[in-house]
Amino acid sequence: MSLLAELSLNSVKSAQHLPVSLSQPLQLGSFATQGGEHFEGGTKFLRRFSQPDLPLDLNAGYETRITKNVDDDGDLRPFLRHLRESHADLSNIDVVSFRNNLNKILSSPWSRNSWEIRIQRVKNTLFFDIVNERNQTNKDHSSTQKSQTNPHNGPVDPAERFTFWGYKFEEACTKGTSSHSNDVRPVNPNDQFCAVFKIKFNDFRCLIAAEIDCFEVETRIERSQSAHADPLAPPAKQRMVEVTRYLELKTSKIISTDRDDFVFKRYKLLSFWIQSYLVDTKTIVVGFRDETGVVRRVERLEVARIPTLVGDLWNPRPCLNCGFDLIAMAKKFCDKENIVYSFQYGAPFNSIRLTQTSLPPFLPPEFLHWMSGDNKS
d(CA 28, CA 89): 11
Dihedral, 147, 150, 154, 158 alpha carbons, nearest 10: -30
pLDDT at 180: 42
* pLDDT at position 139: 39
Q: Is 52 exposed, middle or buried (0-12, 13-18, 19+ CB in 10 A)?
A: buried
Kindly report the three-state secondary structure assignment for every residue of the chain: CEEEEEEEHHHHCCCCCCCCCECCCEEEEEEEEECCEEEECCCCCCCECCCCCCCEECCCCHHHCCCCCHHHCCCCHHHHHHHHHCCCCCCCCCEEEEHHHHHHHHHHHHCCCCEEEEEEEECCEEEEEEECCCCCCCHHHHCCCCCEEECCCEEECHHHHHHHHHHHHHHHHHHCCCCCCCCCCCCCCCEEEEEEEEEEECCEEEEEEEECCEEEEEEEEEECCCCCCCCCCCCCCEEEEEEEEEEEEEEEECCCCHHHHHHHHHHHHHHHHHHHHHCCCCEEEEEEECCCCEEEEEEEEEHHHHHHHCCCCCCHHHHHHHHHHHHHHHHHHCCCECCEEEEEECCCCCEEEEEECCCCCCCCHHHHHHHCCCCCC
pTM over 0.85: yes
Q: How far apart are CA 314 and CA 318, in angstroms?
A: 9
What does the alpha-carbon distance between residue 180 and residue 75 come to, in Å, rounded to a whole number? 37
Residuewise pLDDT in 10s, the chain (377 residues) = 899 999 999 999 998 899 999 999 999 999 998 866 777 777 878 999 999 999 999 999 898 888 887 666 668 999 999 999 999 999 999 999 999 999 999 999 999 999 999 999 999 999 999 887 543 444 333 333 344 444 444 456 788 899 999 999 999 999 744 334 444 456 678 888 999 999 999 999 999 999 999 999 988 787 765 555 566 666 667 777 778 999 999 999 999 999 999 999 999 999 999 999 999 999 999 999 999 999 999 999 999 999 999 999 999 999 999 999 999 999 999 999 999 999 999 999 999 999 999 999 999 999 999 999 855 44
pLDDT for the residue 40 = 78
- Residue 70 is predicted with a pLDDT of 64
Chain length of the chain: 377
What distance in Å separates the CA atoms of residue 338 and residue 368, rounded to the nearest whole number? 10
How many Cβ atoms sit within 10 Å of the Cβ of residue 58?
26
pLDDT of residue 228: 57
Contacts of 275 (CB under 8 A, 6+ apart): 99, 103, 248, 281
303-329 as b/e, with b when 16 or more CB fall inside 10 Å?
A: beebbeebeeebebbbbbbbbbbbbbb
- Distance CA(276)–CA(304), nearest Å, equals 10
pLDDT at residue 136, rounded to an integer: 41
Q: How far is CA 364 from the centre of its chain?
A: 24
Residue 199: closest CA among 317, 79, 24: 24
pLDDT at res. 143: 37
From residue 252, alpha-carbon distances to 6, 53, 175, 271, 319 in Å are 35, 17, 20, 12, 23
- Residues contacting 123, CB < 8 A, separation 6+: 90, 91, 337, 371
